[in-house]
């Protein structure tokens, strides 16, 4: 086998290795958003408002400081949160969160909460309802 054929064979092998190594599977937007929603709610349930704040969109953070966010959010009443569904179209995901909370003497109230998550700069961010 001549040098050119050997060199060509080596290029093919490295090309195949390169294709295999770049075959990174990207997660579906629904899966990425579901994980972020759950992490955000886990932080809220723990009362970790510093972490929960980091999930807000840059637009929201530009008009709402961390101090204002902490003043607006009352912790301690949420008991459980789980992602019910995530439906994405382009750069927007509509999320249904199933909540369990307590209010005054009523314990374990279950309800549905709708959230909007938008993609910005390659990542997903929560946009609070007004």
Domain assignment of residue 20, yes or no: no
108: CATH? 3.10.450.50
* Higher per-residue pLDDT: 105 or 129: 129
**Structurally, how many domains does the chain consist of?**
1
- Give the pLDDT band (50/70/90) at residue 13: very low
Residues in the chain: 130
Is the CB of residue 95 less than 8 Å from the CB of residue 118?
Answer: no
Domain assignment of residue 62, yes or no: yes
Q: How far apart are the first and last CA of the chain?
A: 72
Domain assignment of residue 23, yes or no: no
Range of the domain at 92: 28-127
To the nearest whole percent, how much of the chain has pLDDT over 70? 82
The whole-chain average pLDDT of the chain stands at 85
Domain assignment of residue 16, yes or no: no
Domain assignment of residue 12, yes or no: no
Is the CB of residue 104 less than 8 Å from the CB of residue 95?
Answer: no
Domain assignment of residue 13, yes or no: no
Cβ–Cβ contacts within 10 Å for residue 25, how many?
A: 5
pTM of the model: 0.77
- Walk across the sheet containing 106-120 and list its strands: 78-89, 92-103, 106-120, 123-127
Interval 59-75 mean pLDDT: 94
């Amino acid at each position: 086998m001549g040098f050119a054929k050997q060199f060509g064979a080596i290029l093919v092998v490295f090309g195949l290795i390169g294709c295999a190594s770049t075959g990174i599977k990207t997660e579906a937007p629904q899966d990425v958003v579901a994980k972020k929603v759950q992490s955000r709610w886990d932080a809220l349930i723990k009362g970790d408002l510093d972490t929960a704040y980091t999930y807000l969109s840059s637009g929201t953070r530009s008009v709402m400081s961390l101090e204002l966010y902490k003043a607006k959010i009352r912790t301690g009443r949420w008991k459980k949160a789980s992602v019910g569904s995530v439906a994405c179209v382009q750069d927007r995901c509509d999320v249904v969160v199933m909540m369990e909370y307590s209010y005054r003497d009523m314990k374990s109230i279950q309800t549905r909460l709708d959230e909007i998550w938008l993609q910005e700069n390659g990542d997903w961010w929560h946009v609070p309802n007004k």
